[in-house]
Chains A and B, each alone.
Chain A
Amino acid sequence: MKAFHYTRASSPADAAALAAKTPGAKFIAGGTNLLDLMKLEIETPAHLIDVNKLALDRIEETSDGGLRIGALVRNTDLAADKRVRRDYGVLTRAIVAGASGQLRNKATTAGNLLQRTRCPYFYDPNQPCNKRKPGSGCAAIGGFSRQLAVIGTSQACIATYPGDMAIAMRLLDATVETVKPDGATRKIAIADFHRLPGDTPHLDNTLQAGELITAVTLPKPLGGKHFYHKVRDRASYAFALVSVAAVVQKDGTGRVAFGGMAHKPWRVEAAEAALPKGAAATARIAFAGATPTHDNAFKLPLAERTLAAVLSEARG
């Protein structure tokens, strides 16, 4: 871990301004992913701006019947919020499917959106990785890729977005609110927040330099039955091979988003029209053009079957 300076921010706008004018600055909130990566010098900030004391830890109702979740609301508190449990069950289920109790107590809403891939080649600084070191190559391609992406990949990167919470937020059409270094605020639809790797896999998302997430808003509740089915090799405390977030209405219509499949939460709105026809029809559209490797081709039938399990539960 490189030595760094440490400052506690006093307001969101000050934090963004400070980040913009300080070379190598990064925000730190929960730190559960950033410190992990700093220990391996995958992240090497010269300056950490601690945003933990900012007043961004509230969950409030919005005027249009939704919820506004402060960026610093801890995963545990978001999952345990009565309104979230009642109206956005898929979000609670997604959060508690991730990490461990200890990590969820520390991890924040904004930080969770920003967690970086768990690709083992990204995590090993001896290996070439275009995400860690642009232009160095991708050792995962042709390597051990069981956990990695099957769709939306590029010749430069086949990493997966590892989180659970964001899959539910993508399903719910959340909006990410930010403040920029000039004090201006911005709203980013969650669909536009995470990126596909393309030629620039070192960019995980569309945040600009110094831009700070202040909140995530959820539109008014969708009703219906809520599911988050996460499939992994052990029963807990593991990243998803495949996860399915779904809200299914009584008439069989609904929404579905997938985790573990791509560099971002994977939701194809056009595929959702096929939900009443079943998992196979939906998956066919959702994963058209998939480019799996030998190691991870199983994720396609697995995603379809996991969705089938969810739809079967929804019917039951």
Chain B
Amino acid sequence: MKFDTPATTNPIDRLKVIGKPTDRIDGPLKTTGRAPYAYERHDVAPGAAYGYVLGSAIAKGRITGMDLSAAKAAPGVLAIVTAENAGKLTKGNFNTANLLGGPEIEHYHQAIALVVAETFEQARAASSLIRVDYARGKGRFDLEAEMAGAPLPPPGFGGPSESKVGNFEGAFASAPVQLDARYTTPDHSHAMMEPHASTAKWDGDQLLLWTSNQMINWGKGDVARTLGVPKEKVRLMSPFVGGGFGGKLFVRTDAILAALGARAAGRPVKVALQRPLIANNTTHRPATIQRIRIGTTKDGKITAIGHESWSGDLPGGGPETAVGQTRLLYAGENRLTAMRLAVLDLPEGNAMRAPGEAPGLMALEIAMDEMAEKLGMDPVAFRALNDTQVDPEAANRPFSQRQLIQCMQIGAEKFGWAKRAKAPGAIREGRWMIGMGMAAAFRNNINGRSGARVRLDGKGVVTVETDMTDIGTGTYTIIAQTAAEMMGVPVNAVVVRLGDSSFPASAGSGGQWGANSSTAGVYAACTALRDKVTAALGFNSADAVFEDGKVRAGNRTAALADAARSGEIVAEDFMDYGDLAKKFQQSTFGAHFVEVAVDAATAEVRVRRMLAVCAAGRILNPKSARSQVIGAMTMGVGSALMEELAVDKRFGFFVNHDLAGYEVPVHADIPHQEVIFLDETDPTTSPMKAKGVGELGLCGVGAAVANAIHNACGVRVRDYPVTLDKLLPGMPAFV
């Protein structure tokens, strides 16, 4: 099915199942510990041997010698995989660094060996008996030092690396009110709770790989490519993913080494990346240095807006696309954006939840707050004044839906924004200094081709099969709701099977495209199934109504199950997209409001209240969508207050590479969170009329927190995270 004209009324619009806050259908499995994750497949890969990964001790250079003899002789060892004995490996299309290093070392903790043993304890012990000699090379580890002369990279996922409209320099220079400020965001780690993990089993030349991966079809291709086996000989299964946030978009070393280890050991092998390896072995959100210049008229109209960003990556990598939202969020005739990319020999930078917008808005939305302050304007009013209903870089291109002002105004009202003190440091509760901050949220909507197969059996049970994943997003449930709505059955008459590469390829989970894209694919397949059902019943498909387990057409009614009485009916289709996303700018919008308390003595920050208002198309399941948003808000608090991979610029690695060193929010950091979804349908996105929301919830949160801190205590911090050491120098004395 092709979606190339805006949606009209369709069965989804009945909203009998879609749009309801249905409990997750996988909830009972997850809450009882029965949902099997990739390392837990005693059921299908019994007797798997254990792999343990050895990471490089240097960031850059060469292995000059590797002595495996002691490790090989250690009790229980079955095999040791290294680059020397692994055979030819080809780097995956989605990888920047090799997943098995040696002799060249590209980054710290790059995998250089997998020890396979009868038990986990034996594999772990043997790995430390491998002696490795290295020649350490000179690496580039300091973004600040490498930013001078960093070039504009070729166009990529985030569009061109530079955009110019009007005369930015001239307009900025002549603007009566100006801001020119520099912001930095640090490297972030996805830190999902389930480590990257895989269980591999060879069945002859067929590889069965249970792996924790967001993108099954990409993964299947890259496993085949890396190992040099035909794609059809690789089957990936990822029914449950213990968090990804972009860190599991790509095949990582656990999958490749499990496959190689299983081949070497001649039996199934499972590998989970040890937690202390994850930060340096896998990908991370790259640090940015951002320069933002905004020029306005005296009454606050933006006349010039410039946003430049510098980030680094390994050779062949890409930039953090931190300026993307600035091309679309606010009006202004004269515009400049640029992304520059330095070469760094740190671990591979790549996508993490809301890549681009997350760090970009952390900077831009502080800049907007600073500008409002300079102008003496309310931050909401200043943003509303500079709203645009068209793409500011291409005025003939409207937004499909844009309710940014509504989000801000409703949020302001619900949050009690009017009580915010204009002057910082004005509200005290004992030792706590109280402040409020807000930020706009923005994230583009992306659609991807997505397929599904739908089966109807003689009992009226509808089974959906797609390689789509549920990474905590609620996919199982919204797909069940979609199929239930389309086929006119209750949710409990739908079985959803996900994450298997033998199912039709889906859009996968990433870039907040999963929900709309995968359900649209299910819509297409159900449309095909409806046609087959009506044909089987001898009904006219054009006026058939599927409702309450029955099919009605004209004055005829039959049980849905009747259509499959003589055998299962199977239909398969996919949704593909025309150029609506080119004609219309499809984006999601929101507003974040935060109240913080800052300890006047210690500068400790506590977030006291949080509200997000989101306009993101049709909300397919308000319960799971709300969870996506509160989860993203929580990650936003982390990025505001604590998250930073600390770079050792001498040795080139992230020093705090475990969950004690890399702090993410805990229960005590997070207050009750409120989320409001505006009533919105977007007929340009798909027949579901939905958009993404899982990343929108993160966009702007960091800045809202930083702005609230400024409002509380008067200290403006432009370098994230806003830790107390950065606040203390600006705090009033405390005696």
Interface of B is mostly: loop
- Residue B650 is within 8 A (CB to CB) of chain A in the complex: yes
With the chains together, A139 CA to B651 CA distance in Å?
A: 9
B734 touches A298 (CB 8 A): no
Nearest-neighbor residue (CB-CB) of B132 within chain A:
A126
Nearest-neighbor residue (CB-CB) of A306 within chain B:
B602
A234 touches B651 (CB 8 A): no
Residues of A within 8 A of B152 (CB): none
A309 touches B641 (CB 8 A): no
* Among A120, A143, A236, A305, contact of B602 (Cβ-Cβ < 8 Å): A305
A1 touches B601 (CB 8 A): no
With the chains together, A226 CA to B276 CA distance in Å?
A: 38
- Residue A276 is within 8 A (CB to CB) of chain B in the complex: no
A230-273: CB near B (< 8 Å → 1, else 0) gives 01011111110100000000000000000000000000000000
Residues of B within 8 A of A136 (CB): none
B482-502: CB near A (< 8 Å → 1, else 0) gives 000000000000000000000
Q: Which residues from 344 to 402 on chain B have a C-beta closer than 8 Å to any C-beta of chain A? A: none
Q: Which residues from 142 to 195 on chain A have a C-beta closer than 8 Å to any C-beta of chain B? A: 142-144, 146
- Residue B735 is within 8 A (CB to CB) of chain A in the complex: yes
* Among B58, B647, B735, contact of A308 (Cβ-Cβ < 8 Å): B735
- Residue B30 is within 8 A (CB to CB) of chain A in the complex: no
A278 touches B735 (CB 8 A): yes
- Residue B148 is within 8 A (CB to CB) of chain A in the complex: no
Residues of A within 8 A of B124 (CB): 1, 39
B660 touches A235 (CB 8 A): no
* Among B276, B642, B657, contact of A233 (Cβ-Cβ < 8 Å): B642
Residues of B within 8 A of A302 (CB): 602-603, 724-725, 728
B620-663: CB near A (< 8 Å → 1, else 0) gives 00000000000000000000011000111011000111101101
Could you say which of B601, B658, B661 has the most chain A C-beta atoms within 10 Å of its C-beta? Answer: B601
B724 touches A120 (CB 8 A): no
B107 to chain A, nearest CB (A): 13
- Residue B25 is within 8 A (CB to CB) of chain A in the complex: no
A239 touches B660 (CB 8 A): yes
With the chains together, A143 CA to B667 CA distance in Å?
A: 31
- Residue B128 is within 8 A (CB to CB) of chain A in the complex: yes
Please report the total number of A residues contacting B with Cβ < 8 Å. Answer: 39
Nearest-neighbor residue (CB-CB) of B662 within chain A:
A120
Q: Which residues from 639 to 698 on chain B have a C-beta closer than 8 Å to any C-beta of chain A? A: 641-642, 646-648, 650-651, 655-658, 660-661, 663-669
Residues of A within 8 A of B75 (CB): 3
A309 touches B599 (CB 8 A): yes
B125 touches A118 (CB 8 A): no
Q: Which residues from 63 to 111 on chain B have a C-beta closer than 8 Å to any C-beta of chain A? A: 75
With the chains together, A144 CA to B647 CA distance in Å?
A: 8
Interface of A is mostly: loop
B735 touches A144 (CB 8 A): no
* Among B121, B604, B646, B668, contact of A144 (Cβ-Cβ < 8 Å): B646
* Among A118, A236, A280, contact of B735 (Cβ-Cβ < 8 Å): A280
With the chains together, A196 CA to B657 CA distance in Å?
A: 27
A312 touches B601 (CB 8 A): yes
Nearest-neighbor residue (CB-CB) of B128 within chain A:
A41
Nearest-neighbor residue (CB-CB) of A278 within chain B:
B735
- Residue A88 is within 8 A (CB to CB) of chain B in the complex: no
Nearest-neighbor residue (CB-CB) of A236 within chain B:
B668
Residues of B within 8 A of A236 (CB): 666-669
Residues of A within 8 A of B669 (CB): 234-236
- Residue B723 is within 8 A (CB to CB) of chain A in the complex: yes
Residues of B within 8 A of A237 (CB): 666, 668
B663 touches A234 (CB 8 A): yes
With the chains together, A235 CA to B668 CA distance in Å?
A: 6
- Residue B24 is within 8 A (CB to CB) of chain A in the complex: no
With the chains together, A238 CA to B656 CA distance in Å?
A: 13
A256 to chain B, nearest CB (A): 15
Residues of A within 8 A of B293 (CB): none
With the chains together, A238 CA to B663 CA distance in Å?
A: 8
With the chains together, A2 CA to B658 CA distance in Å?
A: 21
A234 touches B734 (CB 8 A): no
With the chains together, A11 CA to B135 CA distance in Å?
A: 52
Q: Which residues from 720 to 735 on chain B have a C-beta closer than 8 Å to any C-beta of chain A? A: 721, 723-725, 728, 734-735
B273-284: CB near A (< 8 Å → 1, else 0) gives 000100000000
With the chains together, A3 CA to B76 CA distance in Å?
A: 12
B655 touches A121 (CB 8 A): yes
* Among A121, A233, A312, contact of B431 (Cβ-Cβ < 8 Å): A312
- Residue A16 is within 8 A (CB to CB) of chain B in the complex: no
With the chains together, A266 CA to B320 CA distance in Å?
A: 44
Residues of B within 8 A of A142 (CB): 650
Nearest-neighbor residue (CB-CB) of B56 within chain A:
A126
A161 to chain B, nearest CB (A): 15
B666 touches A120 (CB 8 A): no
Residues of A within 8 A of B602 (CB): 229, 231, 302, 305-306, 309
B655 touches A120 (CB 8 A): yes
B663 touches A309 (CB 8 A): no
* Among B599, B603, B650, B666, contact of A143 (Cβ-Cβ < 8 Å): B650
Residues of B within 8 A of A306 (CB): 601-602
* Among A118, A146, A241, A279, contact of B646 (Cβ-Cβ < 8 Å): A146
With the chains together, A238 CA to B128 CA distance in Å?
A: 29
Residues of A within 8 A of B647 (CB): 144
With the chains together, A207 CA to B661 CA distance in Å?
A: 29
Residues of A within 8 A of B58 (CB): 126
With the chains together, A241 CA to B727 CA distance in Å?
A: 15
Could you say which of A2, A126, A278 has the most chain B C-beta atoms within 10 Å of its C-beta? Answer: A126
A40 touches B276 (CB 8 A): yes
Q: Can you list 18 pairs linking A and B with CB atoms under 8 Å apart?
A: A3-B125, A121-B655, A124-B276, A126-B58, A142-B650, A144-B646, A146-B646, A235-B606, A236-B666, A237-B666, A237-B668, A279-B735, A298-B728, A302-B725, A305-B603, A306-B601, A308-B735, A312-B735
User: Could you list 5 further interchain pairs (A-B, Cβ under 8 angstroms) beyond the known A234-B668, A235-B669, A298-B724?
Assistant: A118-B661, A126-B57, A231-B604, A231-B724, A305-B601
